[in-house]
Amino acid sequence: MKKRTTRCLALLLAIVMVLSAMPIAMAEETTQTYTKVTSAAELTTGKYVLVTDTDYAPDYFDNGWVLATQPSVVDGKIENPTAGVWTLTVDTDGVVMTDAKGTSIAPKGGNTNGIQSGSYKWAASFASGKFTFAGTGDDTVTLASNKGNGNKFRAYKNSTVNGGYPHEFTLYKLTAAKEKVATPTASLAAGEVAKGTEVTFSCETEGATILYATDGTTFTEGTTATVNEDVTFTVKATKAGMDDSDEVQFAYTVKAEEPVQSLFKDGEQIVIYNPANMKACLLYTSDAADDR
Q: 28 by DSSP, 3-state: which?
A: helix
pLDDT class of 286 with cuts at 50, 70, 90: low
CB distance 78 to 71 below 8 Å: yes
| 86 compared with 274, residue with greater pLDDT | 86
pLDDT class of 265 with cuts at 50, 70, 90: low
Rounded-to-5 percentages of helix, strand, coil across the chain:
15, 40, 40
Question: What's the one-letter identity of residue 195?
Answer: K
Cα distance between residue 125 and residue 106, in whole Å: 17
Q: Is the pLDDT of residue 164 over 80?
A: yes
Q: Are strands 170-174 and 46-51 parallel, antiparallel or unpaired?
A: antiparallel
Q: If you average pLDDT over residues 274-283, what whole number do you get? A: 67
Count the neighbouring beta carbons within 10 Å of the beta carbon of residue 85.
23
Q: Is the pLDDT of residue 21 over 60?
A: no
Question: What's the one-letter identity of residue 178?
Answer: K
Q: 7 by DSSP, 3-state: which?
A: helix
The mean of the pLDDT values for the chain is 86
Q: What is the pLDDT of residues 76-92, one digit of tens each?
A: 999 999 999 999 999 99
Of 115-124, 125-134, 238-247, 258-267, least confident by mean pLDDT is 258-267
The pLDDT score that the predictor gives to residue 267 is 64
Q: If you average pLDDT over residues 257-261, what whole number do you get? A: 69
pLDDT class of 179 with cuts at 50, 70, 90: confident
The pLDDT score that the predictor gives to residue 26 is 38
Q: Is the pLDDT of residue 109 over 80?
A: yes
pLDDT class of 106 with cuts at 50, 70, 90: very high
pLDDT class of 241 with cuts at 50, 70, 90: confident
Give me the torsion for CA of 192, 193, 199, 202, rounded to 10°. -40
Cα distance between residue 154 and residue 156, in whole Å: 6
CB distance 157 to 141 below 8 Å: yes
How much is the CA Rg of the chain, to the nearest whole Å? 38
Question: How buried is residue 4: exposed, middle or buried, by Cβ count under 10 Å (0-12/13-18/19+)?
Answer: exposed
With CA atoms as reference, report the closest residue to 181 among 248, 239, 247: 239
Cα distance between residue 190 and residue 213, in whole Å: 15
Q: If you average pLDDT over residues 40-67, what whole number do you get? A: 97
Q: If you average pLDDT over residues 17-31, what whole number do you get? A: 47
CB distance 210 to 202 below 8 Å: yes
pLDDT class of 275 with cuts at 50, 70, 90: confident
Count the neighbouring beta carbons within 10 Å of the beta carbon of residue 283.
13
Q: Is the pLDDT of residue 44 over 50?
A: yes
With CA atoms as reference, report the closest residue to 59 among 72, 69, 50, 51: 69
Q: Is the pLDDT of residue 192 over 90?
A: yes
The pLDDT score that the predictor gives to residue 258 is 72
The pLDDT score that the predictor gives to residue 273 is 62
Give me the torsion for CA of 71, 74, 79, 83, rounded to 10°. 0
Q: 217 by DSSP, 3-state: which?
A: coil
Burial 25-62 (b: 16+ CB within 10 A, else e): eeeeeeeeebebbeeeeebeebbbbbbbeeebbbbbbe
Question: What pTM was estimated for this model as a whole?
Answer: 0.57
Q: If you average pLDDT over residues 16-34, what whole number do you get? A: 54
The pLDDT score that the predictor gives to residue 31 is 78
The pLDDT score that the predictor gives to residue 271 is 67
The pLDDT score that the predictor gives to residue 185 is 96
